[in-house]
Amino acid sequence: MTEQDHDDLAGLLGDPVVMQYYPKPRDRAGALAWIHWNQRLYRERGFGLWLITLRETGEFVGDCGLTPQLVDGRTEIEIGYHVRADLQGRGLATEAAEACRDLARDALGVRRLIAIINPANTPSQRVAEKLGLDHERDASVHGGTQRIYAGDLGPART
């Protein structure tokens, strides 16, 4: 994710449909801050959110990846995903999230993964369940009550 992706990310994160389960869509400055946050994560952690593109055309789809999140006083690794509204429902979030889950387990040694999901966001909950995450509890995160989906990734696959 670089500043060259600003227009695509501003469109994605500024879309009220994509961001309907967030407090509000992000403006262009918020999208740029999103890019800078991820660049910092890459430097400090070696991972963050990455762009999703269509393999066939290179067309921008969204973002997906791994971010540290503070939940109930504990830092957890979250898998997160956003897909353009016109491309939702095609399994793209699931495909990207499965790749990120496998990377977390096999390359980064992450043993536990969470997803922080608005209780009304049933499509995102279905993606989490397809990844092997189960609703563990509800917690106050990011200014509201969110569902915490979690799963043990087990040992790395070789």
DSSP codes, 62-122: EEEEEEEEEETTEEEEEEEEEE-GGGTTSSHHHHHHHHHHHHHHHTS---EEEEEE-TT-H
pLDDT digits (tens, 9 = 90+) for 109-128: 999 999 999 999 999 999 99
Confidence of residue 156 (pLDDT cuts 50, 70, 90): confident
Give the pLDDT mean for 11-28. Answer: 96
Mean pLDDT within 13-20: 97
> Strand, coil or helix: what is 26?
coil
Residue 158 reports pLDDT greater than 70: no
For residues 54-68, average pLDDT: 97
CA count, 13 A, side-chain hemisphere, 64: 25
> CA-CA distance, 38 to 15, in Å (whole number)?
20
Q: Give 157's pLDDT tier (boundaries 50, 70, 90).
A: confident
Span 130-152, pLDDT tens digits: 999 999 999 999 888 999 999 99
**Helices 6-13 & 28-45 angle (0-180, nearest 10):** 110
Which pLDDT score, from 0 to 100, does residue 115 have? 98
**Residue 93 pLDDT grade (very low, low, confident, very high; cuts 50, 70, 90):** very high
Which helix (DSSP H) or strand (DSSP E) does residue 45 occupy? helix 28-45
Q: Which residue has the higher pLDDT, 118 or 157?
A: 118
Structural domains of the chain ordered from first start: 3-152 (3.40.630.30)
Taking the complete model, does pTM exceed 0.75, yes or no? yes
Mean pLDDT for 44-62 is: 97
Q: Is the distance from CB of 117 to CB of 154 less than 8 angstroms?
A: no
